[in-house]
Amino acid sequence: MHQHHKKTGTTDKNTPRIALVGNPNVGKSSIFSLLTGRYVTVSNYPGTTVEIVTGNTAIGKKRFLIIDSPGVNSLMPMSEDEKVTRDILLEEETASVIQVADTKNIKRSLFLTLQLVEMGLPVVLDLNMRDESLSRGIKIEEDVLGDILGIEIVSTIAVQKKGIDSLKKAVLRSNVSSYSFSYDMNIEEHISRIESLLPEAHISKRSIALMILSGDKTLKDWLHKKVKGKDLDRIEELRDRLSEKYAHPLNYVISQQRFKIVDDIAQRVFTKIPVRRSGASALLDKITTHPVLGFPFLFLVLFVLYEFVGVFGAGTLVDLIEDVVFGKYLNPLATNIITAVLPVKFIQDLLVGPYGIITMAITYAIAIILPITATFFIAFAVMEDSG
């Protein structure tokens, strides 16, 4: 990887920016590598130790600067990483946001989608990790979700390089969502009051008002630069007045109302499909969970287990090892060696013969314990792995 240090965004002011945003560990960097070439720029986000990777790409005939951002769970920042991602969207113009989502975790993803939609930015929702979601029988009705949110929805499997072309096409078509949702009356009233005191920005005033109401302290510097002191006091007063109306902190109240909206959407788009498996395993599944056939099957399993551990292990194998391996070969061999090497009868009796340590104790220890424990553990392993 070719790396050199440069401040983000200064590459070329005229190249439209695409920001990759998403929850932690959903495949943002994998998608980033698939979209950009070999030449990327790694730099610290100004004033932080957080690393940001940017790269150029051409989609159709257009050139874009793509930014890979740190994973976030919310755009109401609680950590430096989250602040950086929020600032990437706040501080500069973004042509389009690609939200990379883990399809298995649709609710967590939608919680973030709502905040991006609120920001008034053009968003493409990329449902990544479709391989994993399908293998768990999770399917998202993309058309329905697209209709609800009014944005481009695509699905990808980054590790298999699948869906990247449709993602690129969707980026060219990306648009600001037409979806709007509201909070309770008190919150809505305070949002509009605060909005009227805010300047134009790269993200909507509504989203900034919600950050302020959520008690976002990381916005302080930005606000001091952009808003007059008198208006800042008024904004704080409005937030304090609203928070007095609730038993819980405002960020909790706002999050709860968002979660409710996320639940409603998820319910409409989330479907569970039967996981396709081989015929034999599906049949086995049917038999073992069948209310009537299940019991005979249980007894069959227990019987096979008894035959294997009890009859074969404790019977056949024990006899074989005791009588043949030890009785015919090892014990006579040990007796011959001992009587040849140690002429003292007392010591000979101690070691070999019917009560000798070697012939009796070791024979029993190995011949009896070994086959039983071995067959038992084999049976145990088979049962555990088969579930």
133 near ligand GTP, judged by CB under 6 A: no
Specify the stretch interacting with ligand GTP by CB under 6 A; choose among 38-46, 124-132, 366-374, 377-385: 124-132
Q: Is 26 an interacting residue with respect to ligand GTP (CB under 6 A)?
A: yes
- Torsion angle, alpha carbons of 35, 39, 43, 46, to 10: -60
3-state DSSP assignment of residue 308: helix
CB of 21 to ligand GTP, least distance (A): 10
Answer yes or no whether residue 24 interacts with ligand GTP by CB under 6 A.
yes
- Complex with ligand GTP: residue 28 or 239, whichever CB lies closer: 28
Among 8, 30, 41, 109, binds ligand GTP (CB under 6 A): 30
157 interacts with ligand GTP by CB under 6 A: yes
Mark residues 241-280: x for contact with ligand GTP by CB under 6 A, - for none.
----------------------------------------
Environment class of 201 (CB within 10 Å of its CB; exposed 0-12, middle 13-18, buried 19+)? middle
Residues interacting with Mg ion, by CB under 5 A?
28-29
Cβ atoms 56, 77 nearer than 8 A: no
On the CB side of 113, CA atoms within 13 Å amount to 35
For Mg ion, give the closer residue by CB, 79 or 339: 79
Q: Which of 57, 128, 155, 214 is close enough to bind ligand GTP by CB under 6 A? A: 128
* Residue 28 within binding range of ligand GTP, rule CB under 6 A: yes
What is the C-alpha separation between 260 and 141, in angstroms, rounded? 19
Distance CA 330, CA 336 (A): 10
Q: What character string, x for contact with ligand GTP (CB under 6 A) and - otherwise, covers 159-188?
A: x-----------------------------
The long-range contacts involving 141-150, CB below 8 angstroms and separated by at least 24 positions, are 141/268, 141/269, 141/270, 141/271, 142/269, 144/268, 144/269, 145/265, 145/268, 145/269, 148/179, 148/265, 148/268, 148/269, 149/113, 149/117, 149/125, 149/177, 149/179, 149/265, 150/175, 150/177, 150/178, 150/179
Among 91, 92, 132, 322, binds ligand GTP (CB under 6 A): 132
* Binding region for ligand GTP (CB under 6 A) out of 84-92, 126-134, 182-190, 230-238: 126-134
Residue 362 CB, shortest distance to Mg ion, in Å, is: 59
The verdict on 40 binding ligand GTP (CB under 6 A) reads no
